Structure formats: structure tokens, C-alpha cells
Structure 1
Amino acid sequence: MKNHHSGGQRPQSKKSQTTLLEVKEQEELMKFLIAQLPHKNRNNIKSLLKKRQVLVDGKAITQFNHLLKPGQKVAFENAPAPIARQMRGVVVVHEDKDLIVVNKNAGLLTIATDKERRETVYSILSNYVKDQDKDNKIFIVHRLDRETSGLMLFAKNKEMKELLQESWKKTIAERSYLAVIDGKLDPSEGTYRSYLFESKVFKVHSTQDPDKGQPAVTHYSTLKSNDEYSLLKVNLETGRKNQIRVHLQDLKHAIIGDKKYGSTSNPIGRLGLHAWVLAFKHPLTGKNMRFETSIPGSFLKLF
């Protein structure tokens, strides 16, 4: 007999699955798993969810706060789902029915350009949501430069994309970046303002002439420094393309590894810029969401 399985389900081979647990009362998946798997800690369980190894009634679930109903069956796959193995460079930090927050590695483009067709955050996530249901889609809300790592927010439907883009300024409570620069800033904190415009060769330039570009405001403070480098926390008031990179060049302390904007050093083999904190008000539930990633190890080892 053929095994029909739809959208997010996977054909079940008895060999690949272990324990089958029955849900007795309504509760969040994480709580249920912690109680049922005393030999595993929270991180082990998060890893199982991330790798799509937890199945509820045969369907892979990644959200730890997924609500279980009495009578449902929870099973585990011994091996990570194929899609979880393919998501190189992208980790899903949060997902609900309307939006998805990911942490991306440096070196990944947000979306393909005319010149660039290789794997992007958009194509990886597109496959990821289509694996759950072939009609699912992903929508870009904002971008990160290819060489920047860190947190990004995507919408899972057109309504959410529009809601986020229309109310971006009001919705986003905090966007903090970490930047490693050459040398020390004096004063160690401050705000820099200029007007940015893009040249024909896609390089962004800064000017103090308001007629020439779009206003850009960057707040910065020094978290750590030594004789060679400083680690800054940077907050954007305006999210212009390459804004942090250009403003730090203006301040005569370019970001390490940023040859395009004036850096001559490259101690970690990548651009020293990371989208560290993303906090926003969920446009539909009104809930305050806050995500913070750990400081990249390569940044810390310079101090």
C-alpha cells in the first residue's frame, strides 16, 4: 500500500523513529518534552526541535511553545530531517504562523542579485517553509549585507510583510549591531549624522549636504578596546544601506575587514559587523519580542 503524506509530513519508517509518547493534557511542547525526557536538558531539546526531529502526529514541529492537545502523539526521528541539514548558515531563532527570525552567517546574501545566483537566506528559508507546506512563501522585510552576520526578520505572508514595512519605525524597538573597528574612538561614544547617496558603482557615499542624500543617524558606544581594536555597540536610527560601514569610515575608524570602506586590516577573515539584538512589537499579537545572539567568538578573541 502506498504511503500518502502531505506538506509537512514525512513518510514514517518504523526504524527511524523511537519512542511514541501520548499527550495527556494541553501544554506547551517544551514543558512536555522536559517532563518526558529527564535525561535531556533544554539545549538538547532545542537542538532536536531545530533539526526537525520532533514529530507531533507525524508532522515536524520546530516551535518550542507549540501547544499540544490531549490525545496527540509525539515521536522522535533518530536522524535530523534532510532540510535541517541543508540549512547551512541559517538558524531559525523564532517562528510563528506569520513571521520567522533567523541568525545568518557572514558570507550569505539576503536575496539573489542579477550577478549572484547562489544560495541565499531567502532561498534557504523558502525551501524550509515549502518543506512544511508546498504553498508556503517567505517575504523579505529588510536586508543585511552579505558580509554581515546576525539577526534578520522575514514575513510568512503578504499581510505581515506589509504590516511590518508600513510600521517599521514604530514596530522595531531596538536594532543593535556589534562592530569591531581599527583603533579607538575618542570620545568613546556619540552620535554621527550625515546624508548618504549611492554612486553608479553601488558604493555608498556620505555628505553633509542635505540636498545630496538621505538622512542617516548612527549611535555608537565602546564596549571593549585594546591598543589595536575596539568593539562597539551600534544602534541605528535610520537603516540606510551600508550606513554603519560608511559612518565608521567617516569617523576614521573603519570596520575591520571592510576594504570597500577604508579598512586595511582583516584579522578575522571577515567583516567585523554583526546584527546582535532585534526587538520589536509583534504587529498581530502585540507581544514584545526580543532576540539577542551571542557575540561572535572571532570578535571576542581579539580582546
Structure 2
Amino acid sequence: MQTYCVTINEELAGERLDKAIAGLDPGWSRVRVQEWISANRVFVNGKVRKESYRVKVGENIEIDVPELEELDVLAEDIPLEICYEDSDVLVLNKPRGMVVHPAPGHASGTLVNALLFHCKEDLSGIGGVARPGIVHRIDKDTSGLLMIAKNDLAHHSLVEQLKEHSITREYLAIVHGTIHHEHGLIDAPIGRDPKERKRMAVEHKRGKQAITHFTVIERFTKATYIKCKLETGRTHQIRVHMKSIGHPLIGDPLYGPAKNNYGFEGQALHATVLGFTHPRTQKRIELKVEPPDAFLDLMKKLRDE
């Protein structure tokens, strides 16, 4: 068992206890945190509180994280495009359509199934039984660079870098409509959409700070090719932010138009650059991958319009 301690800051103040803790690490799901609270593994200033308790600035939270359970997910020999690997970190180019971790309806064929085969025992256990080694994630239909922690030292370091916004993350996207200015910055908080729980939305009252920078690369007749750089990493951040300014991603089933005129299934989004400080050597590593053929084919189709 490992014990984690955190002091509640202004950003977390007012959140439910389970939501505040789940937001501390991408590998901690809210359901898993609720199990810890029910098992009296979470203490607020030394006291057990309910999952609905609203945390306050300055309160000290202690979390006793149990040892990793035996993983009930099968290792599968699924090819991986590895961009970087050593004894601490693995970075790969995730294909469009691959789910990151097992869930109802996706028990096999996921990235985790592939990682269990490729890495064997060399994965951080902090993410839990369904998310071994997972430090961050990208959506099923988003392609591109994803980093994996092969031990707990690497996991802690990479998560801290995410919190400090010191990890470089650049994405390529194709959006509906013509963006006339060359650069833009979207600073709008993101939270759960109160009308549709599967979606996120710009939420000024309950959302968390989210900042996206974008630059126009190429304009088409009815679309724009852009590069986005994230300062924060909220769920669906680019998809929500671009929709909020009237330029949803082409193919986006959640945030785009109901009618898909381009035959591109899933959002046109690719994680092209990933930069981080190596957890052990402290050297800066920066990787870049080009978008997949389907993305390039879409651009060709738009140029020909």
C-alpha cells in the first residue's frame, strides 16, 4: 500500500471529495476513488468523510492506495508503433479507432491488452487494474503520441509534469468553416455538460481552467487545417474549445454537425508532438509523428473541392 498526501488549493476547493481526488491522477477513476472512500482509505484532516463532502482550501487529504490487484485483462499480441522506449517510459503512435483501456463493450483489442503483451510485468501499477502504465489518454478516434509509464517512479514524474503544464502537447486538427485570423487563444473553463453527461462543455461556474492555443496552417473552401497547443489537458479540450468558437472538428460525433458530409468517421484530430523531461535522466525528449493516411486523404479531398 502507498499513501499519497495533498493539500487542497483554490482550484480544487468546493469540489466533491471523490471528484477532487480522481482529478489528481489520470489513472484514478472516480468509481475507484469512491471504493477507497467506502473502505476508509481516504482521510480529510485525519477524519473519514463521505464521497459527497465538499473539500476546502488548506485541508490535508491522505489517500491509502491499495496494492495493484491481479489484472483480469488478457494480454494480446497487437502490433504497436513504438516511437521511444527505455526501462522507464514507452511512447507510441496510437492508431485511430483503438480504445485506450478496457471498458464495457471493449474488453479486448485495447491499448492496455497490447501493452500487457509487449511490456509483460514492466508497467506502473498506479493506474489500477484496467489502466496499468496509463499516465494520460487520447480518445478512441484521435491518433498520435501517447506516453506510458513502465514503473511508479516514471508515473509520478510524468503526472507531476502534466500538473505543472511542462509537457509539450501539440495536435493537428481539421475544423469546419474558415478561420480568418492566423492565431488564437481560447481560455474557457471546461466541465461536464449538465444536459448531456457523455459530453463536456464550456462551464464558467463549475468548469476547470482550460487553455488552448491554435495556429492556422492551411485554409480550404469550407474548412481550416490548424495546429493546437495545450496548456491544460481537460477531457475533450480541443473538441470542446473549437466547437465553442463555431469551428467544430470535422467528423466529430459528439460536438460536430449531425450530418457528416466528408465521410470521415471520428474527429479529425492527431497528437503530433509530445515533449517531456525524462523521469530518471532529466533530459528533455521531444517526439513528432505525422498524421495517418485517413487524415491526409481528408486534406486532399478538401483541397480538391
TM-score bracket, normalised by the shorter chain, equals 0.5 to 0.7
CA distance in 2 between partners of 1:180 and 1:139 (Å) = 30
CA distance in 1 between partners of 2:153 and 2:146 (Å) = 18
Residue-by-residue CA offset, 1:58-110 (whole Å, 9 max, x unaligned): xxxxxxxxxxxxxxxxxxxxxxxxxxx9324x311111000100001111111
Is 1:294 the counterpart of 2:293 in the alignment? no
Question: Could you say what the CA RMSD is over the residues aligned between the two structures, in angstroms?
Answer: 1.9
Is 1:116 the counterpart of 2:110 in the alignment? no
Aligned pairs for 1:241-280 (under 5 A) are: 241-263=235-257, 264-265=259-260, 266-280=262-276
Note closer, same or farther for the CA distance 1:171–1:95 as it changes in structure 2 (3 Å cut). Answer: farther
1:104 corresponds to: 94
Letter in 1 for 2:249: I
Letter in 2 for 1:100: L
CA distance in 2 between partners of 1:171 and 1:101 (Å) = 18
Is 1:166 the counterpart of 2:157 in the alignment? no
Residue 172 of structure 1 and its aligned partner are, at CA, apart by 3.8
1:4 corresponds to: none
For structure 1, which runs of at least 5 residues remain unmatched after alignment? 1-84
Residue 170 of structure 1 and its aligned partner are, at CA, apart by 4.4
2:77 corresponds to: 86
CA distance in 2 between partners of 1:219 and 1:148 (Å) = 18
1:190 corresponds to: 184
1:78 corresponds to: none
Q: Which of 188, 198, 201 is 2:197 aligned to? A: 201
CA distance in 2 between partners of 1:173 and 1:256 (Å) = 27
For structure 2, which runs of at least 5 residues remain unmatched after alignment? 1-75, 124-131
2:143 corresponds to: 149
Secondary structure (helix, strand or coil) at the match of 2:188 reads strand
Secondary structure (helix, strand or coil) at the match of 1:142 reads coil
CA distance in 2 between partners of 1:250 and 1:159 (Å) = 38
Greater Rg by CA: 1
Residue 277 of structure 1 and its aligned partner are, at CA, apart by 0.4
Q: Which of 220, 224, 234 is 1:226 aligned to? A: 220
Could you tell me the TM-score, scaled by structure 2's length? 0.65
Contact 1:171 1:280 (C-alpha < 8 Å) held by counterparts: no
Residue 169 of structure 1 and its aligned partner are, at CA, apart by 4.3
Could you tell me the TM-score, scaled by structure 1's length? 0.65
Is 1:95 the counterpart of 2:89 in the alignment? no
Residue 267 of structure 1 and its aligned partner are, at CA, apart by 3.5
Note closer, same or farther for the CA distance 1:225–1:298 as it changes in structure 2 (3 Å cut). Answer: farther
Residue 176 of structure 1 and its aligned partner are, at CA, apart by 0.2
Letter in 2 for 1:178: L
Letter in 1 for 2:77: Q
Residue-by-residue CA offset, 1:143-197 (whole Å, 9 max, x unaligned): 1011100000000011211121123244744100000111211323200111111
**Identical amino acids, percent of aligned pairs:** 31
